Structure 1
Amino acid sequence: MPKSVKIAIATVLTAMVTVAGYGVYNIATALTGGSGGSGRSGGAAAAGARPAVTGPPTAEQAAGAARAFLAAWAGGDLSGAAAATDDPAAATTALTAFQRQVGPSALHLTASGPAATPGPSAAGSTPSATPADTALSVPFSASVEFAGTGTPWTYDGALSLVRARDGRTVVHWTPHVIHPHLDAGESIAVRPVAGAPAGITDRNGKPLTGFPSLAGSLERFTARVPQGGTADDGSAVLITKDSDGTAEKLFTVTEPRPLPALRLTLDARLQEAAEAAVAKQSAGGTRAASLAAIEPSTGHVLAYAFSPSTGSNLAFTGSTPPGSTMKVVTAAALLEAGVTPSTPVPCPATTLVTGLPVANDFADARPGNTFADDFAQSCNTAFLEKGRDVLKPDSLPRTAKEVFGLGLEWSTGLTNFDTRIPTESTMAAAAPELIGQGRVQTNPLAMASVAATVQSGTFRMPILLPDLPQQPAARRLSKGVLNDLRALMTRTAQSGTAAGPMAGIPGAAAKSGTAEVGGGKPDDSWFTAYRGDLAVAAEVEGGLHGAQSAGPAVAELLRIGNG
């Protein structure tokens, strides 16, 4: 049988879908006799089935029963074929479903070898749920023809033959009777398949080959299965997992037409800089580094990179505390609560959170600070104490979701982790979230989006394909609050904790972050910033202060700029 090809499907099949003239519905229960079985054994037969008695049939009996079953199935006598199994009800439903879903114009099934003790099947396990000493296996060859096509689909399978309680030799019913790769919880059908694009380019038509971080991701765009048929689509026999929609292509029925090159939102020039930046900050792959860049005016992802490139795409799927970069969102909540940049907000040396002392990156107390000073200096204690005074437990998660889109379900074009900021029951429990600690989880893509939202004033969901829908946030910040937030980030880039990496980058606005991860591990380095129509965020695990590792990575892209 030809080697199967794995395809990522953009949407999970529902119980009943009609696509390009083929009726598709879930047959997992039918294939397992409603037993709820899992794995390649297909589970036990349903109540009412004829269970096998001890002792296998003879080789002659097994071969004869197999030939009778295959002849009935191939001849369209589905009820007769089902009656030749140990679960006629499940078999009738499954064979009918195969006929409707796959829709062959002709089906040829031939026993291709003698009966033998069951061994490993093409699917990697025995084709029967019965013990080997009560069954014999008969291999068969299948040839499936489709109207209007010249080449039949051929594959090899195996039947497990058992002796029923009434003494007859019957086929033991499992999903593998239909096809050796079919499992419980899967469906088999002919579905439309899209042709592979002639290539994948950046937004300017430049090829995106040769970038380590994109190598695995680009396959997700070249192997897309459409939700509905079009003139360019072909068709193929697919086995689809009902749980996540991933599919295995078994046979191409009709070839799809070639598609033109697919343009992503990426910018090859920024992508090259992003790859170099994370490679440098990962210190030869000894620590993970990731980065994402977004165009604030559109939400288009202009670059993303991660190192080591053989690992996970942490720019999109990371789920760690962002440290003080979250203070951008906290500051928005405080500003909306009536705090202004000039409001006196002392910065004590330490404060208590749930009975434990929390300090700053500097040892001295700064009682004369304003809120603008606290933001630029990244004073943890000021944010914690002022937050407990004027905010509620749901203030941060509500502002994050309603204004910045954090916590919405993002559809970027790739797998991504949606930021989580749990709503705690008390301000004491919620306090660590105000400085990006506690149970906050996010990634560079989300924090780049935070900076992009500040720059443009509007949350635009990050996307990699320009035609993807973008779910809006519920509201925008007022003009006054937005201008104050921009001023806070600009000052931080000019004279605050972000000044070092942002030196020589006019118009930059930024926020650095240092996230404690516990367990004796060094702190993670975070940085988010924008300049013009470009917002960038980076994380370096174990990189310590944001200005030390993540900041220089972000600076590399901001110096290039967007167009």
Structure 2
Amino acid sequence: MHREHEPHERYEPYEEPGHQPDGYDGYDDDHLVHGDHDRTPRRPRSRRVWLVAVGGVFTALVVVGGYGAYNVFNAVSGGSSAGGGGSTTTASKGPQTPPTTEQADAVAKDFLAAWGRGDIGAAAGLTDRPEAARMALTSFHDGVPARSLTLTGTGPAASGTPSEPVLGYRVRAEFDGTTEAWEYESTLGVLRAADGRVLVRWSPTVVHPKLSAGQSITVKPLPDPVSKPTDRKGRPLDSFPSLASVLPQIPPPDGSKAVTGQAVVLSGGGQQSEQLFVLTPPSAPQVKLTIDADLQQVAEEAVKKQSAGGKPASLVAIQPSTGNILALAYAPQGGFNRAVGGGQAPGSTMKVVTAAALLEAGVTPDTVVPCKETTNSPRSWHNDEPGSHPDYTLSDDFIQSCNTGFIDKGLEKLQPGTLTGVARDQFGLGLQWRIGIPSRDATIPTPGSKDEAAASYIGQGQIQVNSLAMASVAATVQSGTFRQPVLREDVKRVSAPGKLPSDVAQALRSMMARTATQGTARTPMSGLSGQIGAKTGTAEAGSDANNSWFIAYRNDLAVAAEVEGGGHGFSAAGVAAAQVLKAGGGKG
């Protein structure tokens, strides 16, 4: 019986690349045909390629290459027998003997071998639509720069029929620069044409099971990777609402660049592009922030709870020993980042700085500083609670947050600009901070009158700070040294010109500890152990509603919180701050 293909070995000529005669364009002039017919490629010079078929399973391994992105619409659309789509061999309209198993295996083996070694013309000639096949295979060959292409038959596929067998095969493409290979499986149908030949039925899925009309498969660069900063332990921070506007502001480390990756991509045909295989993954410079994801979660929850009803709020947590910002949260979510960019009067939390100035001026915690019911500067001032306490000391005034005592002693002992200098030199307030993202520096202006001075001593008037600045105040008292807060450890920090005298720092810690256990902060700080200290603040906002402020520390964690319209400091802001201290301040 006549056999269309040799059963075991096939010896075909092959022309070595790079040895074409001058003027050679891949086609013999004698074979140029006009119109809708194929341009028949010149047969190459001889080279041995051994192809083996055993039991219907066949393998071809050759080396191919070439970069490009050659995509022709009709290459994968199936072509057309009219309108320039290339010649088409149609199946017979009359009864035909179906291809035998051996014939189907043989033509599939020859087709895959020709495709694998880059003989596109030979492979296309073994299909029922040679022009469409030639264009599609050329597009794939040029678009996918494989170092080697291995095509392995896997036997009959379940989708075949007696009249048209379908055979499976596996593609393995290897590339320079990566040890990972791209592998996938597809199928091809085999039919008997009208002239009796056994051919591969051409379809875009012969190239790849997902390929359809108008699409191409090419190697393309992946989008430039976006750096996504992590927390200090390398954990993602994308899920935190308060950091949504922060993370995009984090620049990559100095001198680092993103590496654009490459992937085999299926695209075109009006469909969304799909990555089929990543050749080289993209990489973006990574940077770890000082944020602690666990504490950030607590801070988000605390602020969300205290801002219920639409009250703007913020909270910042700092590690006193390093100045690292461990958490920052604000509400409303998605709005202005008031935690680091806001500017408000801090109320009586500013008395920590005023107390430091008075202590440096010679006042001691035990110095008697009467707490009168009202006083004048000449403006009239009063306290939150009625009544006079003529025997109060500076420490008593501090823990009970007596306005009149601080105003009277401040006007007596401090010169205009003294508070501004202490705030800058010992606490770093008013210096230009570079925390890793844009932030607003504190404003502690020199007062122009006694009324302005009196207001500044109790955190009112023209003083403008935010939770970031006041968390740093608490951290400075706890550690005794100002360390500029940062979100990244590699940023350049500023240093305060001076340092809190050790006796002043100790006195401040003593007074803040009393406030946390006996004074206005005792309710929110109740139950917290370790080294603790706090100061409440109630800032007048020009209406019946007051702004709630609270600063505190517990061991190596300092927190500041504010809630606009939140009332007294020990209420809304105090509850939020204590929630964070309880979660993260247990260790020294």
- For normalisation by structure 1, the TM-score amounts to 0.59
In the other structure, the counterpart of 2:545 is: 522
Q: Deviations for 1:54-81, whole angstroms, at most 9, x for unmatched residues?
A: xxxxxxxxxxxxxxxxxxxxxxxxxxxx
Shift of 1:369: 0.5
Q: Residue 358 of structure 2 aligns to a residue in which SS? A: helix
* 1-structure distance, mates of 2:405, 2:373: 9
* TM-superposition CA deviations, 1:268-296 (whole Å, max 9, x none): 11100100001010014x11010000011
The CA distance in 1 between the partners of 2:281 and 2:346, in whole Å, is 45
Aligned to 2:229: 200
Equivalence map 1:292-307=2 (5 Å)? 292-307=316-331
| Match for residue 241 of structure 2 among 189, 195, 212 | 212
State the shift of 1:256 in Å. Answer: 12
In structure 1, the partner of 2:514 is: 491
1:329 partnered with 2:358? no
Corresponding position of 1:535: 558
Q: Which residue of 2 aligns with 1:415?
A: 438
- 1:217-261 per-residue CA deviation (whole Å, 9 max, x = no partner) reads 11112xx3777x557678xxxxxxxxxxxxxxxxxxxx9962353
Counterpart of 2:246, as a letter, is S
Deviations 1:501-540 (A, max 9, x none): 000012320000000011x241100000011110000000
Alignment of 1:371-386 (within 5 A): 371-386=394-409
Report the secondary structure of 2:497's partner residue: coil
State the partner residue of 1:310.
334
The structure-2 alpha-carbon separation of the partners of 1:417 and 1:369, relative to structure 1 and needing over 3 Å to count, comes to: same
Change (3 A) 1:309 1:397: same
Following the alignment from structure 2 to structure 1, what is the Cα–Cα distance between the partners of residues 521 and 418? 26
Q: Which of 389, 399, 409 is the aligned partner of 2:422?
A: 399
Moved more, 428-437 or 393-402: 428-437
> How many equivalent pairs are there?
345
> 1:283 aligned to 2:297?
no
Relative to 1, partners in 2 of residues 1:231 and 1:372: Cα closer, same or farther, differing over 3 Å?
A: closer
Q: CA deviation at 1:468?
A: 0.9
Counterpart check, 1:262 vs 2:291: no
Instruction: Give 2:232's aligned amino acid.
Output: R
Distance 1:232 1:476, change over 3 A: same
Cα distance in 1 between the residues matched to 2:298 and 2:452? 40
Secondary structure in 2 aligned to 1:375? helix
Query: Cα distance 1:476–1:216, how it changes in 2: closer, same or farther (>3 A)?
Result: same
Native 8 Å contact 2:548 2:566 kept in 1: yes
Q: SS at the partner of 1:556?
A: helix
Displacement of 1:214: 0.6
Summarize the alignment of residues 117-196 of structure 1 with structure 2, pairs less than 5 Å apart: 196=225
Measured on the aligned residues, the alpha-carbon RMSD in Å equals 2.1
Q: Distance in 2 between matches of 1:199 and 1:429?
A: 46
- Whether the 8 Å CA contact 2:472–2:482 is kept in 1: the answer is yes
List gaps (5 residues or longer) in structure 1: 1-193, 235-254
CA distance in 2, matches of 1:196, 1:367: 67
> What do residues 128-177 of structure 1 show as CA deviations (whole Å, max 9, x unaligned)?
xxxxxxxxxxxxxxxxxxxxxxxxxxxxxxxxxxxxxxxxxxxxxxxxxx
Q: Does 1:320 align with 2:344?
A: yes
Letter aligned with residue 533 of structure 2:
A
Paired amino acid for 2:380: P
Structure 2 runs not aligned, ≥5 long: 1-222, 261-279
Q: Match of 2:476, SS? A: helix
Identify the residue that residue 273 of structure 2 maps to in structure 1: none
Q: Once the 2 structures are TM-superposed, how far is the Cα of residue 446 of structure 1 from its aligned partner? A: 0.2
Query: Deviations for 1:160-217, whole angstroms, at most 9, x for unmatched residues?
Result: xxxxxxxxxxxxxxxxxxxxxxxxxxxxxxxxxx974663221112211211101121
Aligned to 1:439: 462
How much has 1:393 moved relative to structure 2? 1.0
Pairwise CA distance, 1:561: 2.1
Native 8 Å contact 1:197 1:261 kept in 2: no
CA distance in 2, matches of 1:460, 1:529: 16
Change beyond 3 A, Cα 1:425–1:271: same
Moved over 4 A (4+): 194-198, 229-234
Separation in structure 2 between the aligned mates of residue 471 and residue 356 of structure 1, nearest angstrom = 38
Where 1:200 maps in the other structure, the secondary structure is: coil
Decide whether the 8 Å contact of 1:306 with 1:313 is kept in 2: yes
> Residue 197 of structure 1 contacts residue 262 of structure 1 at CA under 8 Å; is this kept in 2?
no
Corresponding residue for residue 561 of structure 1: 584
CA deviations 1:326-351 (Å, max 9, x no partner) are 00000000000011110011000001
Structure 1 position 425, deviation (Å): 3.2
SS at match of 2:541: coil
Where 1:210 maps in the other structure, the secondary structure is coil
Distance 1:207 1:348 in 2: 53
Code of the aligned partner of 1:531: R
Q: Name the CA distance, whole Å, in 1 between partners of 2:318 and 2:225.
A: 27
User: Counterpart of 1:209 in structure 2: which amino acid?
Assistant: D
What is residue 389 of structure 1 aligned with on the other side?
412
Which amino acid is 1:334 matched to?
L
2:474 alignment partner in structure 1? 451
Secondary structure of 2:534 counterpart = strand
Aligned equivalents of 1:231, 1:281: Cα separation in 2: 41
Higher relative contact order (CA 8 A, sep 6+): 1
Separation of aligned partners in 1, 2:479 and 2:286 = 31
Which residue of structure 1 aligns with residue 572 of structure 2?
A: 549
State the distance in 2 between where 1:372 and 1:443 align: 25
CA contact (8 A) 2:257 2:285 kept: no
- What secondary structure, in the 3-state scheme, does the structure 1 residue paired with 2:329 have? strand
CA drift at 1:479: 1.1
In structure 2, C-alpha distance between the alignment counterparts of 1:276 and 1:201, rounded to whole Å: 20
The answer on whether the counterparts of 2:316 and 2:339 sit within 8 Å (CA) in structure 1 is yes
**Identical columns (%):** 52
AA aligned opposite 2:376: L
Give the structure 2 partner of residue 131 of structure 1: none
2:364 alignment partner, one of 340, 360, 371:
340
Task: Confirm whether residue 472 of structure 1 aligns to residue 484 of structure 2.
Answer: no
Q: What corresponds to 1:349 in structure 2?
A: 373
Distance in 2 of aligned mates of 1:499 and 1:226:
44
Contact 1:532 1:561 (C-alpha < 8 Å) held by counterparts? no
1:537 match: secondary structure: strand
- Could you give the per-residue CA deviations for residues 108-127 of structure 1, whole angstroms, max 9, x where no partner exists? xxxxxxxxxxxxxxxxxxxx
1:350/1:231 Cα in 2 relative to 1: closer, same or farther (>3 Å)? closer
When residues 499 and 232 of structure 1 are mapped into structure 2, their CA distance, relative to the original with a 3 A threshold, is same
1:368 to 374, 391, 396: 391
CA-to-aligned-CA distance 1:21-59 (integer Å, 9 cap, x gap): xxxxxxxxxxxxxxxxxxxxxxxxxxxxxxxxxxxxxxx
Q: Distance in 2 between matches of 1:463 and 1:527?
A: 21
1:513 aligns with 2:537: yes
Asked if 2 retains the 8 angstrom alpha-carbon contact of 1:232 and 1:256, the reply is no
